[in-house]
């Protein structure tokens, strides 16, 4: 039985954000696309990963922080089947893109910056409430052999512009396949003054006797578990409990799944 109590669930009482945060997505090329079309390519991030589904790595689903990060934000999916190869040069033409059809006055992917950078054009203007922007990056724990996602923060609270999602190609002379409907971009809302309102305060743990005691108990239990090579796993974090089975105070979430697109 999961020992998480109502106190540990995220509700109106312990939520920092009290009201729904509405993000508007204004899509381009309205003569050719409609809302239902875009719903196919903007979806809540998924917790599952192909590499985690393999028999010898299924244990990764027991890592709640990893699975929670997997399901954070929304994905923008690839609307074409693409193959890319970079010869190692710095010029735009040094990136070869196959099956990059340019239709309806829209070109999804291109070599725009040089230096082996692949650029996806996102045909949407996102609008966030005052004080909020978007982190634009690649999906968590979702690797593409030969590509590394370049992250950005976009001030969508005022910007009337679209943005791009960029990848640095890391393996010259290697054909990279980016299949249809693979996630190519993730967006996460962020308070734009988060850095100005956040600080790290360093303190020795023995100044907090309760925290020190609970941490030591957990450390000793884990060390004993590993030394004795016990089967199974310790699920203290998953269940939000200490080694005595007592629930911690504060809310505890298992997944960070976002709402469907309206």
Q: Is residue 56 part of a domain?
A: yes
* Span 15-24, pLDDT tens digits: 777 788 899 9
| pLDDT-based confidence at residue 9 (cuts at 50, 70, 90) | low
Q: Is residue 18 part of a domain?
A: yes
* Span 30-78, pLDDT tens digits: 766 678 888 889 999 999 999 999 988 888 888 889 999 999 999 999 9
Q: Is residue 238 part of a domain?
A: no
Q: Is residue 157 part of a domain?
A: yes
The parent domain of residue 128 ranges over 6-191
* Span 80-103, pLDDT tens digits: 899 999 999 999 999 999 865 555
CATH code of 67's domain: 2.70.40.10
Q: Is residue 240 part of a domain?
A: no
SS (H, E, C) the chain: CCCCCHHHCCCCCCCCCCCCCCCEEEECCCCCCCHHHHHCCEEECCCCCCHHHCHHHHHHHHCHHHHHHHCCCEEEECCCCEEEEECCCCCHHHEEEECCCCECCECCEECCCCCCEEEEEECEEEECCCCEEEEEECCCCCCECCEEEECEEECCCCCCCCEEEEEEECCCCCCEEECCCCEEEEEEEEECCCCCCCCCCCCCHHHCHHHHHHHHHHHHHHHHHHHCCCCCCCCHHHHCECCCCCECCCCCCCCCCCCCCC
Q: State the pTM of this model.
A: 0.86
Q: What's the number of domains the chain is made of?
A: 1
Confirm if 84 and 168 have CB atoms less than 8 A apart: no
Q: Is residue 244 part of a domain?
A: no
Q: Is residue 172 part of a domain?
A: yes
Q: Is residue 57 part of a domain?
A: yes
């Amino acid at each position: 039985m999961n020992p998480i109590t109502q106190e540990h669930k995220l509700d109106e009482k312990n939520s920092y954000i009290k009201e729904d945060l509405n993000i508007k997505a204004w899509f381009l090329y309205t003569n050719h696309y409609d809302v239902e079309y875009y719903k196919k390519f903007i979806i809540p991030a998924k917790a599952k990963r192909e590499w985690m589904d393999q028999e010898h790595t299924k244990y990764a689903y027991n890592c709640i922080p990893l699975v929670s990060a997997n399901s954070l934000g929304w994905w923008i999916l690839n609307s074409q089947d693409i193959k890319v190869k970079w010869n190692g040069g710095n010029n735009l033409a040094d990136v070869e893109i196959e099956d990059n059809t340019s239709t309806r006055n829209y070109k999804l992917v291109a070599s725009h910056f040089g230096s082996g950078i692949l650029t996806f054009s996102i045909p949407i203007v996102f609008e966030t409430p005052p004080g909020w922007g978007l982190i634009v990056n690649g999906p968590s724990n979702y690797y593409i052999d030969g590509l590394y996602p370049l992250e950005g923060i976009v001030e969508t609270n005022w910007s009337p512009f679209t943005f791009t999602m960029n990848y640095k190609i890391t393996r010259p002379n290697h054909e990279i396949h980016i299949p249809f409907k693979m996630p190519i971009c993730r967006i996460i809302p962020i308070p734009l003054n988060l850095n100005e309102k956040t600080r790290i305060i360093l303190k020795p743990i023995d100044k907090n006797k309760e925290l020190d005691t609970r941490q030591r108990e957990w450390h000793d239990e884990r060390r004993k578990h590993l030394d004795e090579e016990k089967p199974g796993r310790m699920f203290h974090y998953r269940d939000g409990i200490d080694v005595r089975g007592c629930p911690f105070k504060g809310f505890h979430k298992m997944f960070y799944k976002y709402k469907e697109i309206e």
